[in-house]
Amino acid sequence: MGKKLFLIAFAAFAFAWAGAQTSGGPDAYGYEWRNSDNANGPTYQWIDITGKGTQLTGFADDNSVGPISMGFDFHWYWQDYNEVKIGSNGWLSFKTSTGNIAHCFPTFPSPGGNSDDYIGPFMTDLNFAGAANPGEVWYWSNSVDTFIVSFINAPWWRNGNPDYIGSNTFQVIYAGQDSSVTIMYADMDQVNLNNIGSCNADLEIGWENVTGNVGLEILLETVPDDFKAYKIYYPQVVTLSIPDVTPFWLANSENQGQFVLTGGNVSLTANIKNVGNADVNATTSVSAQVRDLPQNTVYSATSTVDTLTAGASQTVTFTPAWSLTTPGQYYYEVGVTNAQDINPSNNSNIVEISAVSIVQGQCTTALSYATQNPPDGSVAWSGGGGGDGAGIKVVPPGYPAVITSVDMFIRQGAFNPANNSAYDVVILDDDGPNGTPGTQLVKVTMAEGSYTPEDWVNTSFTTPVTVNDGAFYVAWIMGGDSIALGSEAFGPISRRTFEILSGSWATYRQSTVEDFLINVNIDACSIGRDDEIAKSLTSFTNFPNPTDAVQYIRFNMTHSAEANFTVVNMHGQTVYSKTYGTLSPGQHEFSFSTDSFSPGVYFVSMEVEGQRMTNKMVVTR
């Protein structure tokens, strides 16, 4: 209680100083601001990103877009952030769960609500909706230490026809080198401010921290002058001690979704970190649970962490291990509780775990971050073509992973729905710099008119792609703007999605809240295979596929040996088997009837001297 009162008192003190014309602060943490009229202030220097950045779409009246990846870690108060959410009303939030911030606007600082942990460079009632609205929003990152967001010709909302008026051009520059934020005001409308007498704040400029108790107001109800710069300076001396414990990552250090196998025990780990600047001496209670898609808890466990100095972390492994039997998507959530913790907003973390069924040592379900429900959204880029698209990163649960086809939910394009554009399906190795997309392993073009939109579309590979280690990437590349890829915000989120613009890959701007509807079909995904076994079996095929009556099996052997053949269903039950005596070297072929098989997917396996090859078989009627 004493700590909270201390923060509120300092916030009030900082507010009193915010009225200085060319500078303000410090706040309770030590942040201050100066403008370009101050002898020690910033210099106005607009940076044009419209030619090299990305124009954001989806802005209207009183809404937001994102989160958008900044491309690097930006230090704000006592935490690091790498993405922001951008509001149409001129605000940018590190709290990516932020909802709508609209007229009347909160003042800075103002704890509570959905508006903590954000910057208001020009928070007012802007409007990007309406015919011929000139407003644009662009962003650009050098992926090292600079992230810029520019509002271009952004008008105010008004009650009239058209329902917008005026024009405001400003930008926000996040600099990772010194953890500063600079606001450039280029061409501002000092006439048409939408001033409502009943509102305390029609226009608010300033910022606040994640608790909402600490921050500064720069301007209230005052439009900045043209060609003016304001800079928010990280404190040279931090004046506030913050203990802040959080589940920093789950399952893997990237805090991203992972594939695991059914039929075994899954070790669940979590990294618990003190991201504050003060030591935590009290014990931290750590709880874990795994929930299936209907939100039933299928696993729970607890652990503790004794002490954590500032910046220190400890990895916890929960016991017992999770006994996994059912394939599908799961929520893996970890929460922490500590009596000294001052920031409850980051006390839990959720990551996706996708369970893949395994039958006789082979993966038998697709690798997918999607729930297989119909899409509730889509991704597409205006214009399309030129290497624009989307992709996912996949780390298979075993090797070698033999990729035979990819399913994608293709949607009608919103930009040009009259036709169906062609698109490419591409598999790339992770042999680029630092594990990025590198060598192209296969590319298949789906021609215009060769598929039906608003449905899953299968793309098969004439020669399967084999991945023996590491990860691989799956890309969907638009051939025009009359196509889209299905996405979903439902279910656990993998954070393994990417946007591809002009062939350049970047973390998808909605990566924390959306997954793409992509399935990677694996016919062979051997686990624990002994590569020292002599390769008695060199080929194994089954045809026709799908089949409705008779299935043919063809295989080739290098030397004389006994062969065993089995067919299992999706539940791992053997529905057909045959054992041969010693067969001579060379090619062999036989057939069997599928008349007694129910329609569905089966897995056919040939085993010779401990070596097994498995293929998929689809039975239809």
**Range among 47-56, 191-200, 497-506 with highest mean pLDDT value:** 47-56
CA distance 557 to 455: 41
Paired strand residues for 386: none
Out of 88-92, 103-107, 403-407, which region has the weakest mean confidence (pLDDT)?
Answer: 103-107
Out of 5-14, 253-262, 277-286, 578-587, which region has the weakest mean confidence (pLDDT)?
Answer: 5-14
Q: How long, in residues, is the chain?
A: 621
Q: Taking the model in full, what pTM does it have?
A: 0.65
What is the β-pairing status of strands 472-478 and 423-429? antiparallel
Mean pLDDT in residue range 371-389: 85
Position 59, amino acid: F
Paired strand residues for 442: 427
Cα–Cα distances (Å) from 55 to 70, 477, 511, 608, in that order, read: 14, 19, 17, 58
Sign of the dihedral through C-alpha 430, 431, 435, 440: negative
CA distance 424 to 199: 52
Using an 8 Å Cβ cutoff, are 102 and 125 in contact?
yes
Average pLDDT, the chain: 85
Q: Tell me the pLDDT tens digit for each residue of 471-492.
A: 999 999 998 888 999 999 988 9
Q: Tell me the pLDDT tens digit for each residue of 7-33.
A: 223 333 333 333 458 999 899 889 999
Look at residue 386 and tell me whether its pLDDT is greater than 90. Answer: no
Nearest to 183 by CA among 128, 119, 263, 134: 119
Residue 358: predicted pLDDT = 74
Place of tokens 């399935």: 519
Secondary structure of residue 49 in the 3-state scheme:
coil
Mean pLDDT in residue range 46-66: 86
Using an 8 Å Cβ cutoff, are 489 and 373 in contact?
no
Cα–Cα distances (Å) from 32 to 15, 21, 106, 213, 227, in that order, read: 11, 13, 20, 15, 21
Residue 16: predicted pLDDT = 35
Instruction: Tell me which of 402 and 111 has the higher pLDDT.
Output: 402
Nearest to 420 by CA among 457, 392, 374, 372: 457
For the chain, percent of residues with pLDDT exceeding 90: 41
Look at residue 225 and tell me whether its pLDDT is greater than 90. Answer: yes
Using an 8 Å Cβ cutoff, are 268 and 301 in contact?
yes
Task: State the pLDDT confidence band at 603, using cuts at 50, 70 and 90.
Answer: confident
Peptide bond just before 109 cis, omega within 30 deg: yes
For the chain, percent of residues with pLDDT exceeding 70: 90
Percentages helix, strand, coil for the chain, rounded to the nearest 5? 5, 50, 45
How many CA atoms within 13 Å lie on the side-chain side of 233? 17
Q: Which residues contact 503 (CB under 8 A, 6 or more apart)?
A: 386, 387
Out of 21-35, 70-84, 313-327, 545-559, which region has the weakest mean confidence (pLDDT)?
Answer: 545-559
Task: State the pLDDT confidence band at 242, using cuts at 50, 70 and 90.
Answer: confident
CA distance 3 to 313: 24
Position 395, amino acid: V
Residue 99: predicted pLDDT = 65
Q: How is residue 93 written in tokens? A: 């939030």
Residue 354: predicted pLDDT = 93
CA distance 491 to 38: 50
Q: Tell me the pLDDT tens digit for each residue of 495-541.
A: 899 888 778 887 786 787 899 999 999 875 554 433 333 456 777 88
| Burial 142-168, CB ≥16 within 10 A → b, else e | eeebbbbbbbbebbbbeeeeebbebbb
Out of 82-91, 117-126, 578-587, which region has the weakest mean confidence (pLDDT)?
Answer: 578-587
Q: How is residue 573 written in tokens? A: 């039950």
Residue 360: predicted pLDDT = 62
Q: Which residues contact 264 (CB under 8 A, 6 or more apart)?
A: 323, 324
Which DSSP helix (H) or strand (E) runs through 5?
Answer: helix 2-17
Using an 8 Å Cβ cutoff, are 429 and 472 in contact?
yes
Look at residue 323 and tell me whether its pLDDT is greater than 80. Answer: yes
Using an 8 Å Cβ cutoff, are 591 and 552 in contact?
yes
Q: Which residues contact 620 (CB under 8 A, 6 or more apart)?
A: 546, 547, 548, 599
Mean pLDDT in residue range 399-418: 82
Mean pLDDT in residue range 374-379: 90
Look at residue 609 and tell me whether its pLDDT is greater than 80. Answer: no
Position 200, amino acid: N
Structural domains of the chain ordered from first start:
2-233 (no CATH), 245-356 (2.60.40.10), 377-498 (2.60.120), 537-619 (2.60.40.10)
Q: How would you write 244-275 as a 3-class SS string? A: CEEEEEECCCCCCCEEEECCEEECCEEEEEEC
Q: What is the DSSP string of 376-418?
A: SEEE--TT--TT-EEEEEE--SSSSEEEEEEEEEEEE-SS-TT
Task: State the pLDDT confidence band at 147, using cuts at 50, 70 and 90.
Answer: very high
Q: How would you write 143-171 as a 3-class SS string? A: CCCEEEEEEEEEEEECCCCCCEEEEEEEE
Instruction: Tell me which of 180 and 503 has the higher pLDDT.
Output: 180
